[in-house]
Amino acid sequence: MNSIITRFPPSPTGYLHVGGARTALFNWLYARNKKGKFVLRIEDTDTVRSTQASVDAIFEAMQWLELDWDEGPFFQTQRFDLYREYLQKLLDSGDAYYCTCTPEEVDAMRQKAKAEGGKPKYDGRCRDRGLPKSDNAVIRFKSPLSGTTVVEDVIKGNIVFQNSEQDDFVICRSDGTPTYNFVVVVDDITMGINTIIRGDDHVMNTPKQILLYKALKASLPVFGHVPMVLGKDKTRLSKRHGAMSVTAYRDMGFLPDAFINYLVRLGWSHGDQEFFTREELVEKFNLESIGKSASVFDMDKLTALNADHIRAASVSELAPRLLPFLQAKGYDAVDDQYLKGVIETLHNRSKTLVEMAEGAHFYYREDVRPYDAKAAKKFFKPEMAKVLASLADQLETLEDMSEKKQEAVFKDLMEQTGLGFGKIAQPVRVALTGTTVSPGIFEMITALGKKRVVDRLKLAVEFIESMGS
């Protein structure tokens, strides 16, 4: 069998959204699973709506998702000579013809057909007139008048279309620009695309494209039309459901591997498995396991899965991803051992990188004061000044700041004071973080380092003593 070649052909008229990203992912995974090729093609023939900013946004999103392409990016606006060559082939073979009917005349034909109970379409008036090329002429494809066109869909099964209901559709406008269905077929033929996975909103285009393939005597690709992604209310996914730019999810602190894990599960399954690494997806992905019903996008499920991926990721993997979020908060953070220690204490309790950056605030503040007022009132009792001062002194003398040695210090302090661990730990937590919520005491002390811990304990002692004076 020939090597599998898939493609992703976004139009640069906006950002890359969830549905488009899932289409790209399915094609990328299938190509990688089959050790084939994945082609990126920018369908920019809509010159009015296409922008360079959208092209850049698509590239940025693809790169964040780490969906690398083997060929391309190709731009349709740079391929017009090729399209003209294929238009001439269809004209020469008699499979296309020039039509000079005005838009008003065509609209009247459609209204008449509709009034007579038929399908509104062009009536073929110029089909056999043999008109020459002219300034106001479009080129129409000569669709067969009888028989059927069958879309052999690997996801939906066979879909049969009656040729009698097909229009002699326009393949080139009067200004010389070729139309979508035509250029897509020419691109897919010339790029060797043999597997097309796309949204099922394209199903109605497929019979037209199959007729073009046959007229150009080209082999048909495998078609697979994927059901749409819906919002929680079962309507088409829109901005109010979370249909934002893919890069917006990056900025919200989602990991790319978590995002593609969630995307692939919107319509594809492998038993009951929910969590997949990128490598597992490449290994297991197939077309047979794509479902036939629409999927529902759920931010809560995405967030929960992201938390799982954060927990599973190594500290070294998380460090460069967390760093921009810390720096955006103005923290003087760098990818060093201190950052890795901070992550070690937070990654099991963070659902997103934004949440992790917020949880890291006390690690990067020089001074955690002012203390939370309620916490200070409850835990900074006058008698705690002596306890915290003693703890600072003992920790300062430690050569080894391992958790085992810290535990020994706390145990000694508990014996000296008769206080339980919680009675000591909560005031320490407030002293070190300014609040009552933090990672475990010992892991936090390890991450902060001896100097910061001792300095903050001493500041807390001064604060407690000042309250009593």
CA distance linking residue 234 with residue 447, whole number of Å? 46
Q: Are 90 and 70 within one domain?
A: no
Report the run of H or E that residue 316 belongs to, with start and end: helix 315-328
> Residue 26 is which amino acid?
F
Q: Which of 119, 239, 374, 377 does the annotation list as catalytic?
A: 239
- Say what the pLDDT of residue 406 is: 97
- Say what the pLDDT of residue 103 is: 95
Question: Is 267 a domain residue?
Answer: yes
Q: Categorize the per-residue pLDDT at 469 as very low, low, confident or very high, splitting at 50, 70 and 90.
A: low
CA distance linking residue 361 with residue 213, whole number of Å? 60
Question: Is 309 a domain residue?
Answer: no
Domain boundary among 364, 385, 400: 364
- Say what the pLDDT of residue 239 is: 62
Q: Are 258 and 355 within one domain?
A: no
- Tell me the mean pLDDT in the region 287-312: 96
pLDDT at 468 over 80: no
pLDDT tens digit string along 408-446? 999 999 999 999 999 999 999 999 999 999 999 999 999
Claim: this prediction has a pTM higher than 0.75: yes
Residues paired with 178 in a beta bridge: 172
Question: Is 310 a domain residue?
Answer: no
Question: Is 308 a domain residue?
Answer: no
Q: What is the CATH number for 403?
A: 1.10.10.350
- Say what the pLDDT of residue 242 is: 56
pLDDT at 458 over 60: yes
Q: Are 116 and 171 within one domain?
A: yes
Question: Is 139 a domain residue?
Answer: yes
pLDDT at 201 over 70: yes
pLDDT at 244 over 90: no
Question: Is 174 a domain residue?
Answer: yes
Token pair, residue 303, equals 């967030």
Nearest C-alpha neighbor of 143 from the set 114, 119, 177: 119
CA distance linking residue 397 with residue 341, whole number of Å? 22
Q: Are 96 and 212 within one domain?
A: yes
Domain boundary among 303, 326, 356: 303
pLDDT tens digit string along 5-49? 999 999 999 999 999 999 999 999 999 999 999 999 999 988 889
Contact yes or no for 157/185 (Cβ under 8 A): no
Q: Considering its fold, how many domains does the chain have in total?
A: 4
Q: Is 214 a catalytic residue?
A: no
Q: Are 164 and 143 within one domain?
A: yes
Question: How many other CB atoms are there within 10 angstroms of residue 62's CB atom?
Answer: 21
Q: Are 371 and 406 within one domain?
A: yes
- Say what the pLDDT of residue 46 is: 87
Q: Are 459 and 372 within one domain?
A: yes
Q: Are 115 and 176 within one domain?
A: yes
- Say what the pLDDT of residue 111 is: 94
* Vertex 103 angle, CA 102 and 104, to 5°: 90
Enumerate residues 6+ apart whose C-beta is below 8 A from 26.
197, 226, 264, 268, 285, 290
Question: Is 405 a domain residue?
Answer: yes
Enumerate residues 6+ apart whose C-beta is below 8 A from 44.
11, 12, 50, 55, 75, 76, 77
Q: Are 207 and 136 within one domain?
A: yes
pLDDT tens digit string along 86-126? 999 999 999 999 999 999 999 999 999 999 988 899 999 99
pLDDT tens digit string along 335-389? 999 999 999 999 999 999 999 999 999 999 999 999 999 999 999 999 999 999 9
* E-strand stretches of 45-182: 71-75, 96-99, 138-141, 148-153, 157-162, 170-172
Q: Are 114 and 37 within one domain?
A: no
Residue by residue, DSSP assigns 168-234 as: --EEE-TTSPBPHHHHHHHHHHHTT--EEEEEGGGGGGHHHHHHHHHHTT-PPPEEEEEPPEE-TTS
Q: Are 254 and 292 within one domain?
A: yes
Q: What is the CATH number for 219?
A: 3.40.50.620
**Boundaries of domain holding 328:** 315-364
pLDDT at 269 over 70: yes
Q: Categorize the per-residue pLDDT at 282 as very low, low, confident or very high, splitting at 50, 70 and 90.
A: very high
Question: Is 58 a domain residue?
Answer: yes
pLDDT at 243 over 60: no
Q: Are 176 and 259 within one domain?
A: no
Domain boundary among 226, 244, 279: 226
CA distance linking residue 58 with residue 183, whole number of Å? 21
pLDDT tens digit string along 292-303? 999 999 999 999
pLDDT tens digit string along 159-189? 999 999 999 999 999 999 999 999 999 999 9
- Say what the pLDDT of residue 240 is: 64
How many alpha carbons lie under 13 Å from residue 260 in its C-beta half-sphere? Answer: 24
CA distance linking residue 220 with residue 210, whole number of Å? 7
CA distance linking residue 305 with residue 167, whole number of Å? 47
